[in-house]
Amino acid sequence: MPEATISLKNKVVLQFGGSGLLGRAMVDGIANAGATLIVASRDANAIAADADRLRAAGCKVHLENVDLLSEKSILDLLGRITKAHGRLDGMVYNAVNRPMSAGFDDDISKWEESMRLNSTGFFAAVRATGNVMAKQGSGSIVNISSQMGSIGFNPYLYEGTAMKTAPDYFFHKGGMNNFTRFLASHYGPQKVRVNVVAPGGIFNPARPQEKAFLERYNKMTMLGRMANAEEINGAVLYLLSDASTYVTGAIIPVDGGYTAK
């Protein structure tokens, strides 16, 4: 993995969601950039081995369980963090639930399940975090969205494959993008910055996408390929660091030029 070029030394950062492909890459990137990193997820034990590896390399990583469907659980988590570390300098919201595996015609209960975490859980987490940062008069929130929050569904990519797209994903990532603008305005007077990193497709070597999809998707980008998970880290580290102190309300695409083509 490329070495971090932006320092987060002496910063306390909370990351929601760290067990997936992208989440694990960000855990590595933020920890190696020098932050004291708290990773909060439904099952913190899922990344215990990653945390042990990073600690052995001299990184500061703490694991916490949190239920994003419970505001009390979120508030209790933030209370523990501020008590233990005295402040919170950064937050990365990377948690996601994708229950609509059957696509557009899935049962309406799957849509409702998705909104509980991806809408209500997100709001509870970002409000609680933002309020903590507002009280201390500083902080940076980075919401992990997707290029799908800015573009429409392209059926061409999926033709002839067994892959399905999830309509709820477009809904909540689009909402995250615009709500981030609201948050940036709301918390700006308290010197809290709120931004979005919007990744494009990420290649998973353990479970690669179907060949037809990959070939079509790659042609849609300017760089001719999907991203590797660690390539998202640069934008995240930049927004968490003091290199971006005048950046707020921004949506930064990290998509190989897909949305600009």
Q: Which residue has the tokens 């919201």?
A: 93
Q: For residues 13 and 210, what is the distance between their CA atoms, to the nearest angstrom? A: 36
Walk across the sheet containing 139-144 and list its strands.
60-65, 36-41, 12-16, 90-93, 139-144, 192-199, 251-254
Pairing of strands 90-93, 139-144: parallel
Helix spans in the chain (H):
21-32, 48-56, 71-85, 108-115, 122-136, 167-187, 211-220, 233-240
Angle between helices 21-32 and 48-56 (to 10 degrees): 20
What does CATH list as the number for 12-260? 3.40.50.720
Residue 260 exposure: Cα atoms within 13 Å on the Cβ side: 9
Provide the token pair at 134. Answer: 């507002």
Structure-derived torsion over alpha carbons of residues 104, 92, 253, 176, reported in degrees to the nearest 10? 40
pLDDT in tens, the chain (261 residues): 444 468 999 999 999 999 999 999 999 999 999 999 999 999 988 999 999 999 999 999 999 999 999 999 999 999 999 999 999 999 999 999 999 999 999 999 999 999 999 999 999 999 999 999 999 999 999 999 999 999 999 999 999 999 989 999 999 999 999 999 999 999 999 999 999 999 999 999 998 899 999 999 999 999 999 999 999 999 999 999 999 999 999 999 999 999 999
Global pTM reads 0.95
User: What confidence score (pLDDT) does residue 5 get?
Assistant: 63
- Per DSSP, the residues of 16-30 read E--SSHHHHHHHHHH
User: What confidence score (pLDDT) does residue 208 get?
Assistant: 87
| Model confidence pLDDT, tens digit, residues 207-243 | 889 999 999 999 999 999 999 999 999 999 999 999 9
Indicate the domain borders of the chain: 12-260
Inter-residue contact 31 to 7 (CB < 8 Å): no
Count of helix runs (H) and strand runs (E) in the chain: 8, 7
Phi first, then psi: what are they for 38, rounded to 5°? -110, 120
Written in H, E and C, the secondary structure of 154-179 is CHHHHCCCCCCCCHHHHHHHHHHHHH
